[in-house]
Structure formats: structure tokens, C-alpha cells
Amino acid sequence: MNVYDIIFYLFAAITLASGFLVVTVKNIVHSAFYLLFTLFGIAGIYVLLGADFIAIVQLLVYVGGILILLLFGVMLTNKITDVDIKTGTLHIVPAVIGVGIFWGAITSILTSTHWKSLPAENIEPTTAQIGTLLITDYVLVFELLGILLLIALIGAATIARRDKE
Amino acid sequence: MDLNSLYTSFNYIAPEITIAVALIMIVIFDLIFDKNKKIIPYIAYLGIFSALFFVAANFNLTGTNYKVSSLNESMGMISTDTFGSFFKILILVSSALIIFFSKTSEEIKKTFERAGEYYALIFGMILGMMFMVTASDLILIYLSVELLSLSSYVLAGFTKLRDRNAEASLKYLIYGAVASGLMLFGISLVYGMVGSTNLAALNNYLQLPLANVLTFTAAAVLIFAGIGYKISAAPFHFWTPDVYEGAPISITAYLSVASKAAGFALLIRLIRIGFVRFIDGDGNWHISGIFDWQSFIIIISILTMTLGNFSALWQNNLKRMLAYSSIAHAGYILLGVAVLSNHGLMAVMVYFFIYMIMNIGAFFVVMLIADKTGSEDIDDYNGMGYRTPLLGVALTVFLISLTGLPPTGGFIAKLYLFIALVDANLIFVAVIALLNSVVSLYYYVRVLKHMYLTRSDKDDLLFEISLSNKFFVTGLAALILLLGIYFTPLLDLVKNVSFFTL
């Protein structure tokens, strides 16, 4: 067990524990804060995988952006901070069966599949390569993403706008 | 990919570029002509007809483009072929019909100061669908599905006139998010095994007996979940009735035709390019043994049509009834896919062409009547056959065609489907589909009973419809009757377009 393994298990533990807390705590603001640790833990795992660009994006977009928006949404919405979310358990038997089957399937998929893997090389920065790919091989996808964002903006403006009575 | 091949690739996505340019033109004109939005629908027409021109001009163009340098020469992001062109024409024609539809609809007229956004979002849908029918790479497939979904979530709740609109939008969004999450998970499983997102690379991988059956089954089912949601196949259909009822009726019609067409084209291309080992002389597709698409789709389709037809029996709202009927039709069309042969493919294309006309026609009549009476309830259709003879007759034609009785186009559509099923020795399935058609007769004819046999106290209240609407309805009804008698041109067209670029 070398130092990388230890760091991996550390991040994995942070992710799992805070993820569990996100869905179990009753206060919605606490839940949002635990989400911060979950997303941070995932960013750490990306770093260990040598995916530096994705790790930074994960930090900037999810931890820095989406989570702050989420907190603002919670705080600006009237009275929602005091409300306990309903966390009661319903239909426990079918849920356990469903989750059990799903867990079994996922585990056997993970262990029995021969995954395609590349040999571990020295880790190099990926940002420049991603940039090159985005404007060469994946240029169509890149341009289409731009249109997708435009549509998302138009859609958000349409939903948010209040109609004149 | 070098600049030279990028330049030649432009020709292959000319229709898509046209649509994207039209989308941006709409946004710009909406900003410039702040007060006068009358011009926007005409820009939309212009965009759609220019795109149609490019599709028609490049109809026989074939090839794969946007190649990925790490892959084999023949693999690219998009495959241009006649199959794709046929579905692009279907999508563009139904979009043109829907724009006419929207210009007439009272609901959309009430929100006309937001016309710019409405048409921009429609063009977002068109662009997403055009890429769905042509994409041969899972990244592009996912992105185009998302583009279509995002635009349609907003459009489903666009009018904001009633609470139902918001409900429709929210339900669509939540179900859609789950479905696209499942699809993405399936895609990630495929990528984990194949090491590429390209469908042709997937096919190459499946030629060798390397794949783990369990993992592959999970991946195929998960990817199907994303597509099944788009085509409203059971058990991913739960959103359909509420969304169809709550959305503006022009969008309901659009979702039930164009978005389904794109979903089916995507499913067929996924199977055809990703999973078919070889095609024998009779045009039967031989699928890799890793996943039994035929049994899977047959089970899904029987479930879909039975659920759709039986739930439609008790509906009193016509929009809701047509929603369930469109679920049932998705079931029939899935059977055509399940045949997994060139014959089945032809049956699917014939069915879709006719389904587009009859379904848009039926929704258009329902919309015209709802604009006058303010309701889609079946009791408000009492005596409608006398109050507005033209609409009554037209709706009769559309509903008979949806049932699949001669002498309408719907009969030809069902006939070819059943022939394809019997040819493939799926007689048991054909019998189930036939029995389902009998069930559907009840709820379609029930509307006719209300229109002609039940009298109401408003019988003498005739109502006026504008000349252009009369032409539109008469045209669609005449086309349905014509296709029931003289269908050779359609068959000839379809025979020539079942060609794929691998």
C-alpha cells in the first residue's frame, strides 16, 4: 500500500461519508454543505487518475459554481431554511429488493467485465490535448454544445420571465 | 482531422448548418424588431424550406464525416445516408406543418410577444432531431438528445396560462433527467468496454467474442431507456399523458410526431450500425448474439401498445386520449423495428409518413375546436358533426386512419407492418397487434358517436373557420384518403431509401 493508495482511500471515504450525510440529514442547508465535501472528494479522485483538467473543472463548476447557486437558492427562497425535508421511509420492502438487485448487478458488472484499459504512463498535463481535440476531431460536438448553451439560456429566460397580466 | 476534410464535411451537414443559422437569425430579428414579431414565423419557414432544399439536393450523398483521428478511416461522428435523409425530410415537413399550426393556435397567439423564444426553441428541437437521425457516435447522440430535450422541456410549459402547463414542463424535466442519466450510464459502460464511443467501433468490437454478456445487456437496456423515453415506449411512458395534456397543443402534436420519429431513427441506426453482424440476401439483419434485440423489443412493444390502447379507453379528454393513442402507435412501430430486416424498416418508414399526416391532422382539428369551445372534453363534441361539417368529416377521416381501416392511409401503414411481421414468422405477435387495433376502434369511434349520434342543445351554433385552416385540414384529410388508394409513390420512395452508411 503506497502513498497513492492511502490518498485514494482517504478521498473515497470523504466522498462516501458525506454523500451518505447529504441524503440523511434533515436540514437542507446542512445537506448542501455536505454536498460540498462529496464533490470535493470526487475532484480528488480525478486528480489521482491524472485527469487534471476535469479535476479543476469539477472544483470550479461544481464546488465553486453550482453549489453556491444551490445555497443561494435555498437562502433566497422564503422560509425554506426552517423547513425539515420529509425524510421518512416508505415502501421499505420493494425499495430494499430493488436496490439489492441493482447493487448486485452493478457489483457483478464491475468485477466480471474485462474493461478496456491503457497502460499506466507518466502523467502529463491533459489540458492542451483536450483543447486540440475540441477544435479538431470533436469540433462538431463543440459547436453543438455552444448551441445547446444558447438554447439553455433562452429557455431559462423564458421560464424566469413573468408575464404581463 | 485536418482542415481539408473539415471543409469537405460542411457539405454533409448543410441542412443542419441552415437550421442553426435560422435559429440565430430568429434570435437576432427578435431583438431588432422588438415590437413587430410578425416576421419571425416567416424566417422560420424560410429556414425550414432552405434546409429541405439542402436535404433534397444532397439526398443521395453518402459517407461518414467528422472522423476521429485515433480511429479507423471509415469511422466518423456522422453518417450521411438516404435513411437519414428520409427521416430529416419527415422532421422538416412536420416542423413546417407545426409552424402553420402554431400560427393558428389561440394559445400561441396569446403569448405572441414571446414568439421569438418560441420559434428559437422549436429550432433547437429541429437541430437536435436532425443530429439524432444522422449521428453515429454516442457522444453526439447524447448531445443531440439533450438538445432536443432541453428545448422541449421549456416548450411544454411555454404558455404559462394554466397550472397544467407548469406541471407538464416539470414532469417532463424530471422524467427526462432520469432517462438521460440512465442513458449516459449505459454509454459509459459501452465506452468502458469498447474504448471508443463510435458505433462502428462498437460493431467491430462485437465481431470478436470479447464482451461480457451481463455488462452488455445492462448497457443496451440503459441506452434503450433513454431512447424509449423519447419514443414513449412502456415502461418509460409515464410522462406522456400528463405532458401531452398540459403542453400547448401545437407542441403536443410536435412531440408526438417529430420527436418520436427522431427517437426511432436513432434506435434503428444504433442497432443497424452498432449491432448487425451482416445482412443476408433477403435483407434480414443478423444481430450479434450478445443481446437479443428482437425479443427485447417485441416484449416492450406488446407492453406499450396494450397499455396505450387500454388506458385510452377511459379517457374523456381528447388530448389525453390522443396521447395514449400515440403510445399505442409507438408500440406498433416498434414491432416494425423488431422484425430486424429491410422489410421491417420499410414498414416503419411507411408507417411514420402516414402517422405524421394523420396525427398532426387529428391534433389540428382538436385544436380548432378547442379554440372555439375552450375545451377538449369529449362531451363538448356532442353534435359537432352538424355544427362544423368540414371539421367533423376531417376528424372522422383522421380517426379512422388512426384505427387502420380502409380506405385510408392508416390501413396501408398497418398492412405493410403486418406483412413484414408475417414474413418474419412473427405471426403470434401480428395477432396481438391486430387484437390491439380492434380495441383501439372503440375509443376512436366513441368520438364519432359523440360527434354524430349524440345531440346537444347548441346544435344550431355553427362556427366559422378561416379559409387557410379549411385548406390545411382538407389537404391533410385528402392526402390520407389518397394514400389509402394510391400509395405506390410512397412505397417506391421508401424502397430506395433503406440504405445505410456504415
Give me the interface pTM, i.e. the ipTM.
0.90
Distance CA B168, CA B239 (A): 8
pLDDT of residue B502: 60
Residues of B in contact with A148 (CB under 8 A): 143, 146-147, 150
Which residues of chain A lie closer than 8 angstroms to B150, CB-CB?
A: 148, 151-152, 155
> Which residues in chain A have their CB less than 8 angstroms from residue B67's CB?
137
Mutate which: A154, A159, A163, A164, vs B, most B CBs within 10 A = A154
Give A7-29 pLDDT, tens digit per residue: 999 999 999 999 999 988 877 78
Q: Are residues A66 and A141 in the same domain?
A: no
Task: List the single residue in A105, A116, A154 with the smallest CB-CB distance to B218.
Answer: A105
Residue B493's pLDDT band, with cuts at 50, 70 and 90, is confident
Q: Is the pLDDT of residue B421 over 60?
A: yes
Cα separation of A87 and A81, whole Å?
A: 15
| A131 and A115 housed in the same domain | no
**Which are the contacts of A116, defined by CB distance < 8 A and separation ≥ 6?**
B192, B193, B194, B195
A66-80, B141-155, B269-283: segment of lowest average pLDDT = A66-80
Strand partners, B64: B79
Helix B409-423 with B389-403: angle, nearest 10 deg? 0
Same domain? A49 vs A59 = yes
Co-location of A99 and A32 in the same domain: yes
B208 at the A interface (CB within 8 A)?
no
The residue ranges of every structural domain in chain B are 1-279, 292-502
Q: Would you say how long chain A is, in residues? A: 165
- In a shared domain, residues A85 and A144: no
A54 and A130 share one domain: no
Whether A74 and A148 share a structural domain: no
**Band of pLDDT at residue B501, cut at 50, 70 and 90:** low
| Cβ contacts of B209 on chain A, cutoff 8 Å | none
Alpha helices in chain A (DSSP H): 3-24, 28-48, 52-57, 67-76, 92-112, 127-135, 139-160
| Per-residue model confidence as pLDDT tens digits over B331-378 | 999 999 998 888 889 999 999 999 999 999 999 999 988 888 878 888
Give CA–CA dist B436/B302, Å, rounded.
Answer: 9
Cβ within 8 Å, pair A112-B214: yes
B192 pLDDT above the threshold of 60: yes
Q: ∠ CA(A129), CA(A135), CA(A140), 5° rounding? A: 130
What is the pLDDT, as a whole number, of residue A3? 86
Residue A99 sits in a domain of what CATH number? 1.20.120.1200
Closest residue in B to A162 (Cα) is B160
pLDDT at B461: 67
Which residues touch B408 (CB under 8 Å, ≥6 apart)? B358, B397, B400, B401, B480, B481, B483, B484
Q: Are residues A110 and A155 in the same domain?
A: no
Region of poorest pLDDT, from A160-164, B80-84, B402-406 = A160-164
Cell of B215: 455488462
Which of the residue ranges A33-47, B57-71, B466-480 would you say has the lowest mean pLDDT?
B57-71
How far is C-alpha A21 from the geometric centre of its chain's CA atoms? 15
- Shared domain for A112 and A79, answered yes or no, is yes
A91 and A162 inside one domain: no
pLDDT computed for residue A114 by the predictor: 81
Q: Is the pLDDT of residue B58 over 70?
A: yes
Both A142 and A111 in one domain: the answer is no
Q: Report the distance separating Cα B337 and Cα B287, nearest Å.
A: 13
| A147 pLDDT tier (thresholds 50, 70, 90) | very high
Is A141 found in the same domain as A70? Answer: no
The structure's pTM equals: 0.93
Count of domains observed in chain A? 2
| Per-residue confidence band for B222, with pLDDT thresholds at 50, 70 and 90 | very high
Domain that holds residue A58: 3-125
Task: Indicate the residue type of B110.
Answer: K
Shortest CA gap A113–chain B (Å)? 6
Among B65, B71, B77, most A C-beta atoms within 10 A, so best to mutate, is: B77
